[in-house]
A and B are shown apart, each in its own frame.
Chain A
């Protein structure tokens, strides 16, 4: 398996532009997570999907952020309009467990998208 795939790997955009980040989870995984990592705040969970349904979006910073998972093999995280404070590395991770409590439960991370908003 190729692992979790994210695109693009790097994105540089100007303030006010729309940004779309993409993720393909590992085939057969039921859970999908979007994280944001910054030096100041560390790793933060933005949103969690289970079986393509958003379960917890309490970490989404504000209405400028939205995420979708139209099917089991694809998810997007969109920022519109983008701001300089959105600059960070965004990770997508997937997990095989539906309940999240399986004994071998762990999360498999993609390589991340480094977003720079000028």
Chain B
């Protein structure tokens, strides 16, 4: 059974720091892995999607990597800003399903001004 884990559950850093959020999964048979952002009282917004054949995706100050062999994905945020404060969730799409996402519990990120 696929399990997705995000550690730590919460992270607080000063503004301007570069930081890495971690996501691990137990079964490497994934179709893709996505990173989402959730702001308080709002829905989830997709940030980056990495196909299983890719190793990384970049969008602005965000870079997501995928290492299937080790069952890990990381979300790198450069030059963090207070506006980056949110909960970040990763989700793995199973190879044997065309819709099922397995979700991590999320990392709550606070960027201190």
Contacts and interface: CB of A to CB of B under 8 A. Distances in A.
Q: Do A and B bind each other?
A: yes
A95 B49 CA distance: 14
Contacts of A99: 98
Given A100-B98, A103-B51, A42 B103 contact: yes
A101 B31 contact: yes
A4 to B, nearest CB: 7
A112 B46 contact: no
Interface string A2-28: 001000000000000000000000000
Nearest to A42: B105
Tell me the interface secondary structure of chain A in the complex. strand
B49 A106 contact: yes
B44 A45 contact: no
Interface in B91-105: 93, 97-101, 103-105
Contacts of B104: 42
Interface of A: 4, 31, 33, 42-43, 45, 48, 50, 55-56, 91, 93, 95, 99-101, 103-112, 114
12 contacts: A42-B103, A42-B105, A43-B89, A93-B43, A93-B44, A95-B99, A100-B97, A104-B49, A106-B49, A109-B44, A109-B45, A112-B42
Interface of B: 31-32, 34, 41-46, 49, 51, 89, 93, 97-101, 103-106
